Chain A
Amino acid sequence: MSSSEALLDVSNLDVTLHTERATVRASRAVTYSVAAGRTLAIVGESGSGKTILNLAPLGLLPPGVTADITGEVRFDGKLVLGDGVNQIASHRGKDIGVIFQDPLSALNPARRIGSQIMEVAEQHLGMTARAASAHAAELLKMVGIPDPVARLSQYPHELSGGMRQRVVIAAAIAAEPKLLIADEPTTALDVTVQAQIISLLRQLQKRIGMAIVLISHDIGVVAGMADAIAVMYAGAIVEIGSADDVLVQPSHPYTRGLLASVPRLDTPLGAPFRGLPGLPPDLSRPLKGCAFEERCSVALEACGSARPPLQPVAGTHAAACFANVRAALAATR
């Protein structure tokens, strides 16, 4: 998977979270990369480790949580994490912007939105307050907020949820980062606003030329925008590949389940929602076999005792499923 022109190259990343109550293996042996200017979508059910995977290496852990991180992260060709190096945090805000799931709480309620955007430009672009203010107004305009100059002096509570997420985005891209991590940027918003935000992200990507890691639990949301998709389950990537490959030829039963649960335009209203049955495993317990085994309709005997490795399906498309391997074997026979 790793390629020389990759902007972000993550290999073998293991994150173990320690809280007062438990120790959680939030991601294991995760390897992926994002090419400059491209979008990688990371999808998976809530709790599958998408957020931790992306934010723990940046040092953005939830309060009260510490993490052991092993593996390697290269950013822009440089080793920024692993082998005794840990510099990734210094890229925060400057080369790497982050958008959070909940725009309502991501903004400081006691500060004007202008200053919350301006400080990024002041800090990373060395702008004066005046220049940063102009820059912030421009950014607000760019993210589609009308009357930007007046908005600068408003407080978050004076804006709607969608507007607030636009503000968060404006702050995240204020220093023109090379990589934008968007953690469920639309989950907390109305459906109509969701589409607007996604299209805004696409526009911005074009304009600034940044790579995006788009995190979502809803594969439907990312489908239209992603160049590549990684599917996460229980802290590990179970399938990864180009968007076309993953969407058209889902090779892991979990991916298929996710796709099947996306409501389609032609689904009659009121039809039973076909979500995945069952619950994901508890990550604080050790796992012997495939994490998906319990919920899997095609599980084999081997699935209970050994963990299936990520195996190429075709080209860059890979999946971690014994059933797949067998099917492939059967096909070749």
Chain B
Amino acid sequence: MNTTRRTFLISSGLLTTALVSGIELPAFAAGDATTLRIALNRQTGNLDPTVYKAIWAVQSMIFEPLVRYGQGGKLEPALATSWSVSEDGKALAFKLREGVTFSDGTPWNAEALKWNLDRWIGKEDHSWLLVSAAYDRLQIVGPYEVVLHLKNPVPSALAELTTVRPVRFLSPKAVAADGTFKEAVGTGPWKVVRNDAERTELVRNDGYWGEKPAFEAVSLVVIPNARSRVDALRAGQIDITGGVFVAALSPQDARTLEASGLAVETATGTDTLVLGFNPERPILQDPRVREAVSLCLDRAAICEKLLKGFATPTMNLFPSVIPDSGRRLPVPKRDVARAKALLEEAGWKGAGVRSKDGTPLKLELVISEDAVAGSRALGEVIQNFVREAGIDVDLRLVDHVSRHDDIPQLKYDLALFITAGAPYDPHSSLTTYFLSTYRTGTDGKMFMDAAKLDPLVNAALTATEGTRAAAYQAFYDWLEQNHAIAPIYHATRLWAHGKRVSNFSIPATEYEMPHEGIKLVAG
């Protein structure tokens, strides 16, 4: 008894001593001058470009496309130095960049391109990409020259080829004998040296064909908790945090970081938060009701109060940074009187909650914090805004999975949607959210009208260069005239960085990581 107690005391004493003596002091806080540290909100995951798992922005540091999506949607050469689209829009010719190798030494050429396309193009799982759905065959003209033949013209084909997955290029040697993915080897400026639950570590690809990074390594550290990321940045233990899909920075946190003297970088959002109406609900089939709801919203107040000024109020489906995003619409002031008048006109009458033929004007708004961060608060605000006009909105909080169950089955009256953003828009959101013939599993529809809207969508999607802008505008005009949707705001893109980082710039899309041009400075 005595001996066991003594042993216990001694061993716990030793453990404490070990803990204390193991403390190595602050070397970590400063960070070493050659490594950029960026926070991730989750594990990067399987980097295979044909699998929809990894964090896009991490994949984009390793794998490159044929053409790159520049600021404002301008296409820039990447693994292709030039390209052209045939008259009929069905053949895309590419000249490939010569002298490029994957980081394992495998040469980049038409053969490597074909090997990559064979992994995904034309397959069912990837048919959501119009270029994959329309794929006919690949013609190899020379070792650095290929033509992609499509069954029908796909005006968005080049934009689709700028995306991260499944289109980017993996080294043909980076797979096992049976063709399954083995390691993440691309042509990009970074090489993977570690990828696990804690962090993804990248080192500079010294054989990179483009401008080489100014620092040697990037450490992408997994910090799931938003609050912890903010603290880590303030403590100088990471250099960069932000990005919708990387480690989203909330408006409140951004203001906190600003207040503590850290740099918060902003860029106009490429996506739009939209309040959508279930077109199958009789109440909502009356455009006057939809317009009334829209008029009740004080968009400026939402941007100011809920998003701490990090959003732009809008009536447009897309922000102007999106190509062919149409004429800018004025954002109306909140007008409850007009909303009430519209409802009266539509037959919704009475004090308190309005009703018509005994049916109360009650609507259900589905809220999923997982799908749209901050949507619960937004839902409550919307609820209050419309109540004044006599509309009773119920909030139903659901999680990620339930939302994905309910939305496609149209089990809601109102729902919040976010457009796909760059580089997918405008074509992607049109297809997914408005085309009645396109069956989406999880995203649902913002609005549908097979007879009137589908032709406009199809016209916009298939329009060629010269007529495209007008075709899109016709679609936007229809939405506007019918009050089909209630766009609310474009959320500002937020990134924050510490004092070590200079020359920071926000990349063109949320699918890319800020690293280009960045310099690490002492302190």
Contact = CB atoms under 8 A, between A and B. Distances in A.
**A and B, direct touch (CB closer than 8 Å):** yes
B176 interface: no
A250 B175 CA distance: 112
A23 interface: no
Contacts of A112: 1-2
Contacts of B2: 112, 115
Contacts of A115: 2
Interface in B1-54: 1-2
B356 to A, nearest CB: 76
A265 B116 CA distance: 115
Contacts, number: 3
A115 B2 CA distance: 10
A93 B2 CA distance: 23
Contacts of B1: 112
B4 to A, nearest CB: 13
A83 to B, nearest CB: 44
Interface in B497-518: none
A158 to B, nearest CB: 13
Nearest to A114: B2
A75 to B, nearest CB: 35
Interface string A43-81: 000000000000000000000000000000000000000
Band of interface residues on A: under 10
Interface in A65-114: 112
A248 B2 CA distance: 54
Interface string A147-173: 000000000000000000000000000
A108 to B, nearest CB: 12
Interface in B331-352: none
A174 to B, nearest CB: 19
Nearest to A115: B2
A138 B1 CA distance: 23
Interface string A102-140: 000000000010010000000000000000000000000
A56 B2 CA distance: 33
A4 to B, nearest CB: 47
A264 B1 CA distance: 49
A115 B3 CA distance: 13
A132 to B, nearest CB: 14
A112 B1 CA distance: 9
A199 B191 CA distance: 93
B5 to A, nearest CB: 10
Interface string A293-317: 0000000000000000000000000
B432 to A, nearest CB: 72
A274 B47 CA distance: 100
A115 B1 CA distance: 12
A112 B3 CA distance: 12
A128 to B, nearest CB: 16
Nearest to A110: B1
A16 to B, nearest CB: 42
A309 to B, nearest CB: 56
B500 to A, nearest CB: 59
A109 to B, nearest CB: 12
A115 B5 CA distance: 14
Nearest to B1: A112
A112 B2 CA distance: 9
B175 to A, nearest CB: 67
A11 B2 CA distance: 45
Interface in A183-215: none
A111 to B, nearest CB: 8
B6 to A, nearest CB: 12
A112 B4 CA distance: 14
A124 to B, nearest CB: 21
A20 B448 CA distance: 83
A301 to B, nearest CB: 66
Interface in A245-291: none
A156 to B, nearest CB: 13
Nearest to A155: B1
A175 B217 CA distance: 74
A107 to B, nearest CB: 15
A27 B1 CA distance: 44
A155 to B, nearest CB: 9
A302 B195 CA distance: 103
Nearest to A153: B1
A7 B1 CA distance: 41
A82 to B, nearest CB: 42
Interface string B388-418: 0000000000000000000000000000000
A242 B2 CA distance: 49
B406 to A, nearest CB: 62
A113 to B, nearest CB: 13
B2 to A, nearest CB: 7
A331 B19 CA distance: 88
A186 B462 CA distance: 110
A171 to B, nearest CB: 17
A8 B2 CA distance: 39
A298 B485 CA distance: 113
B437 to A, nearest CB: 81
A257 B2 CA distance: 52
Q: Which 3 A-B pairs have the closest CB atoms?
A: A115-B2, A112-B1, A112-B2
3 contacts: A112-B1, A112-B2, A115-B2
Interface of B: 1-2
